Amino acid sequence: MAGLRKSGDVTIKDIAAALGIAHSTVSRALNDHPHINPETKAKVRRAAQELGYAANSGARMMRSGASRLVGLIVPDVQNEFYNAAAKIMADSCAREGYQLVLAVSEDDPEKELQQVQALREARVAGVLVAATASPRRDTVQMLKQLPTVQFLRRHPGIAGHTVRADDVLGIYKATEHLLGLGHRRIGYVGVTEQLSTGRARADGYRLAYGDARLKVNAGLMRLGAPRPEFGHEALVELCGLPTPPTAIVVASPRLMLGVLEGVNALRLSVPEDLSLVAYSDLDWFQVWQPAITAVALPVADMAATAALLLFRQIQQRGPEGSGSSTPFEPLLNIRGSSASLRVALKPVKSARR
């Protein structure tokens, strides 16, 4: 190999000549063919690296009809849950010889369609997707033609397996916890019920009240976009009621950020004025004082499972028609932001200084 200069134009034939073996053997070794022994594979890969060989992914795509790319479509890259999931999925893809491509829909069906079109044109091997509430018809049709796994959210029009949290149970646990502490006026700040996650989480809140033989006060529920701005607005509205809630369940980490901004703006004391329970347990929840009681989702297990199911579909060389799902059980971590009912919160007019 000493006589061969490194170059971006190094080919499989160059590697074969340097090693004195057939170029077909080099090709199989680079593609991890099972009939090539590990020692030869290691020797070929080492030579390829030393010579500066770069695989021609375009040619490989033409031969196989698919790239070694996997698409991940999420609504929000600022959401810590999706960030953590994307990292785990990327690691899973790398172990299988794939590369993860991140696309962001911003919960906009038109942008989601554009992202799916782009991924399809790139001939991705499969797609992991947290779908918008109302995907375009073309989006649904294109995803039906690809190995697809839905993640966290589920849209009935999109085929394939869904990996999700048991959202009903998670919010049920949060609400039940506050009811057990003596709270009866429990506010709920959640995402729109147009999303599967929004419906399930709101159902968990209602079910906990029903099982406690208590009536839900719809006036204490605020549903909207999973954005901090809405969380802030909802907190101010709830605390401005003639009889405000004494506790609030916040059903999204991005909403929780806005709720806490509102708590600071109104100079409320947690949990003396208001108990809080969050959904999805982020690292910084333990740093905020008092530490925030939160329902933890097993993000690592969920993300790894979603990737594994997608790889199975890819190996089967086609999308999965089943609408089955794998739910993961959330865990309630009790901390200082939730406490027994003491004194009802005064209207926000008195709270403002």
Q: What is the model's pTM? A: 0.77
pLDDT in tens, 143-200: 998 999 999 999 999 988 999 999 999 999 999 999 999 999 999 999 999 999 999 9
What pLDDT band is residue 66 in, cutting at 50, 70 and 90? low
Q: What is the mean pLDDT of the chain?
A: 88
Beta strand pairing call for 221-224 and 186-191: parallel
Whether 103 and 130 have beta carbons less than 8 Å apart is answered as no
What pLDDT band is residue 69 in, cutting at 50, 70 and 90? very high
Q: Work out the percent of the chain whose per-residue pLDDT is above 70.
A: 89
At 65 the pLDDT is 52
pLDDT in tens, 37-60: 888 988 988 888 888 776 655 555
Reported as type and span, the H/E element at residue 293 is: strand 293-296
- Report whether pLDDT(219) > 90: yes
- Report whether pLDDT(256) > 70: yes
**Lowest-confidence range among 49-63, 133-147, 208-222, 263-277?**
49-63
- Report whether pLDDT(76) > 60: yes
Whether 167 and 204 have beta carbons less than 8 Å apart is answered as yes
At 353 the pLDDT is 29
What pLDDT band is residue 319 in, cutting at 50, 70 and 90? low
pLDDT in tens, 287-303: 999 999 999 999 999 99
CA 41 to chain centre: 36
- Report whether pLDDT(1) > 70: no
At 317 the pLDDT is 66
Q: Work out the percent of the chain whose per-residue pLDDT is above 90.
A: 69
At 141 the pLDDT is 92
User: Residue 137, exposed/middle/buried by CB under 10 A (0-12, 13-18, 19+)?
Assistant: exposed
What pLDDT band is residue 349 in, cutting at 50, 70 and 90? very low
Torsion of Cα atoms, 257 then 260 then 266 then 271, to 10°: 160
The DSSP letter of residue 267 is T
At 352 the pLDDT is 31
At 2 the pLDDT is 45
* Pairwise pLDDT comparison (67 vs 353), residue with the higher score: 67
* Residue listed under structure tokens 């029903």: 210
